[in-house]
Structure 1
Amino acid sequence: MDTIQILVVGKHPEIMQTILRLINNKPEWNGVGASSCDEAISTFKEQPCNVILIGAGLTQAENDELCLFFNSHKPNIPVVQHYGGGSGLLYAEVFEALAGKSF
């Protein structure tokens, strides 16, 4: 199985650091962070990803812009809204997004 690439978008550096640490603790996952819409779109264009995780800190307009962009360019990549709740919820959200997908 290939490594699952996860793009994490959020504006809170401490939360981003925690989410990336949790994701990267799983040997089969690799997380990369983006702290703005422009950075997220640039990363999305430059690096393959299997899941997009959108976290807290974005305005509703930014969230809508990103979802529209991601879904219009690669609708098969799941976009997950993550607003906290601990590592168990984070893992469950990613596993659910990956369910039925093969890489």
Structure 2
Amino acid sequence: MWPNMFGKTVGPVTAKREHMTANHQPTAQTAALISETDAPDDAPMERLDVQSLGPPKPLKQTLERLAELNDDTILVQFNDRAPQHLYPKLKDRGYDFESVETDDATVTIIWRR
């Protein structure tokens, strides 16, 4: 368990595949994490794991995936660090986002405003 950026304790969430089911529905741990953000709770979700990629691949893959998704879909990105260079690009493209540090990854929840 860890306190998230809102000071609430949630967990455990890891970047392992068991936190997102095959049909892109979040597990209870991922759903709990998303519920702590302002992202819509009932939206479809996609998972993107870019932890093993070096810069600038995580940024590129995230922006490409977002361009492919419907406007109502939430992207749950797992990274090994906070995607600082991604944040201004998301704002410019009309997305809201929140990142939460876990033991295994930085999880960034991205959704269309």
Q: Provide TM-score, normalisation by structure 2.
A: 0.43
More helix by share: 1
Q: Provide TM-score, normalisation by structure 1.
A: 0.46
